[in-house]
Amino acid sequence: GQQVMQIPQYQHVQEGEDFTTYCNSSTTLSNIQWYKQRPGGHPVFLIQLVKSGEVKKQKRLTFQFGEAKKNSSLHITATQTTDVGTYFCAGRDTGGFKTIFGAGTRLFVKA
Amino acid sequence: KAGVTQTPRYLIKTRGQQVTLSCSPISGHRSVSWYQQTPGQGLQFLFEYFSETQRNKGNFPGRFSGRQFSNSRSEMNVSTLELGDSALYLCASSLNKPETQYFGPGTRLLVL
């Protein structure tokens, strides 16, 4: 079945450093979404990517969707303590209505 | 618009009991998905409902069931609770397809 792998599992950074998390699917995706979950909170939708090679920016966050629509990345420039949390990717394959979440990357930011 | 609401927020049960969790989606959203989140397993998909029909199901035993009502509100039921069912149960709603999903605060279930 469809699998979505996300790496790294954890990342510790110093405030001001950059951070990237990567997502890889075993199948071609119709689209991919990214979510952020703060400690003790629930996942919050950040963005959806649909087109092959698409790049979207939200302030210090840059999201990319691979040309083959099987991988994606989230890059945060100059991390801040407010970026702390777990970032999840979620993809739906081209065949069905099931959205599969990656295991998430937990980001720790040291001030 | 009001967000996704889930009740109850916290629940303590003992092994062998059953539990029903409720989810009210954002007004106008017709797709409701349920997830189980545990520290070791991440977000595990339980099932998704659309227009009162289960459209997709994850790999959970038959003890886990759900339904959706005509107003799109959804419930999930877990029968014969086991210790391993302790988790945060999240409900997410979306307009039609389970893509851009809006999550509720979750129900934290503890099974003793």
Q: Which backbone phi and psi does B85 adopt, to 5 degrees?
A: -85, -5
pLDDT score for A107: 97
pLDDT score for A84: 98
Of B40, B35, B16, B37, give the one whose Cα is nearest residue B74. B35
Assess A2–B contact: CB distance below 8 Å, yes or no: no
- Contact between B66 and A107 (Cβ < 8 Å): no
Q: Which residues 1-60 of B have a C-beta within 8 angstroms of A?
A: 33, 35, 42-43, 45, 48, 50, 55-56, 58
Of B102, B105, B106, the CB nearest to A45: B102
pLDDT score for A99: 84
pLDDT score for B41: 75
- Stretch A60-75: mean pLDDT, rounded? 97
Q: pLDDT tier at B84 (50, 70, 90 boundaries)?
A: very high
Indicate the burial class of B18 (C-beta count within 10 angstroms; 0-12, 13-18, 19 or more).
Answer: exposed
pLDDT score for A52: 96
pLDDT score for A96: 67
Q: Classify strands B107-111 and B10-13 as parallel, antiparallel or unpaired.
A: parallel
Q: How far apart are CA B56 and CA A76, in angstroms?
A: 34
Q: Which residues 77-96 of A have a C-beta within 8 angstroms of B?
A: 88, 90, 92, 96
Statement: residue B99 has pLDDT above 90:
no
Cβ distance B55 to A44 less than 8 Å, yes or no, reads no
pLDDT score for B48: 93
Statement: residue A2 has pLDDT above 80:
no
Q: Which residues 30-69 of A have a C-beta within 8 angstroms of B?
A: 31, 33, 35, 41-45, 48
Model pLDDT for residues B41-53, shown as the tens digit of each residue: 789 999 999 999 9
Statement: residue A98 has pLDDT above 80:
no
pLDDT score for B26: 96
pLDDT score for A11: 97
Q: Which of B31, B89, B99 to mutate to test the interface with A (most CBs of A within 10 A)?
A: B99
- Stretch A96-100: mean pLDDT, rounded? 77
Statement: residue A93 has pLDDT above 80:
no
Q: Look up tokens 């107003």; give the residue.
A: B71
Of A33, A97, A102, the CB nearest to B48: A97
Of A35, A96, A104, the CB nearest to B56: A96
A74-108 as b/e, with b when 16 or more CB fall inside 10 Å? Answer: bebeebeeebbbbbbbbbbbeeebbbbbbbbbbbe
- CB neighbour list of residue B51: distance below 8 Å, 6 or more residues apart: B30, B68
Model pLDDT for residues B19-75, shown as the tens digit of each residue: 999 999 999 999 999 999 998 778 999 999 999 999 989 999 999 999 999 999 999
pLDDT score for A92: 84
- Contact between B98 and B54 (Cβ < 8 Å): no
Q: pLDDT exceeding 90 applies to what percent of chain A?
A: 86
